[in-house]
Amino acid sequence: MLTHKQVWTALDALAARYDMSASGLAKAAGLDPTTFNKSKRVAANGKQRWPSTESVSKVLNATGASIEDFTALLVGAEPHGETRYIPLIGLAEAGSKGYFDDSGFPIGGGWDQIAFPDLAEEHAYALEISGESMMPIYRDGDRIIVSPTGNLRRGDRVVLKTQSGEVMVKQIARLTATRVELKSLNSEYEDRTFELNELAFIHRVIWTSQ
């Protein structure tokens, strides 16, 4: 069962991911800055107050996070079920041979392992960010959890590998049956466009551990 604490902790975690306070998150979403204040979470008579689905939707639109991201934060806030271990390598290593099969699933013995709340995504893997090229979204040392089988749509953050072995993290600006247009997370780096047949894979980022 979804709990009051889970939902509010997930919103706090989402705010922290984007270096915001609860009031800053509300303001960014076009809401009254006090909407998510802790004093508003319980009424004077002790009755629990829940955020509305509309306010959560506005937060996701403002941050670019997906509903799957928010769901993952709910799990991370108060994990249920078993913990599993998923494979981890550095983002810089992901372009090397031997880490992914032809379907883009992680293979081989060169991966480390990290504990993570159990996911329905059997082939999920983690990449560790290095450098500052994805600031301010991702920082050096951040770990992103990636789904090789998740459906893709505009606004998703993705990891992609070209047929030549170049690996990058971008945001989908436009996706057609033959082409993907990508927005860089750091404005100092150029946006990119690829024909889908130029890519070895393109996978959706579903979680960020900061």
In this predicted model, what pLDDT tens digit does every residue of 124-154 receive, in sequence order?
899 999 888 888 888 888 889 899 987 899 9
High-pLDDT (> 90) share of the chain, %: 38
Domains of the chain: 4-77 (1.10.260.40), 83-209 (2.10.109.10)
Q: Quick one: 195 exposed, middle or buried, by C-beta within 10 A (0-12, 13-18, 19+)? A: exposed
The predicted-structure confidence for 157-204, as pLDDT tens digits, reads as follows 999 999 999 999 999 999 999 999 999 999 999 999 999 999 999 999
Candidate from 1-5, 33-37, 135-139, 206-210 with smallest mean pLDDT: 206-210
Residue with token string 């937060």: 59
Each residue of 13-48: pLDDT tens digit? Answer: 888 877 788 888 898 889 998 999 988 899 888 899
Q: Is 165 left (phi over 0), alpha (psi -120 to 50) or beta?
A: left
The pLDDT, as a whole number, for residue 110 is 85
Q: What is the mean pLDDT of the chain?
A: 86
pLDDT at 206: 83
Closest to 150 (Cα-Cα) out of 61, 68, 74: 68
HEC readout, 35-64: CCCHHHCECCCCCECCCCHHHHHHHHHHHC
**CB burial of residue 165 (10 Å; 0-12, 13-18, 19+):** exposed
Q: What is the pLDDT of residues 48-104, one digit of tens each?
A: 999 999 999 898 888 777 777 788 787 664 444 456 788 999 998 898 888 998 888
Pull the structure tokens for residue 4: 């009051």
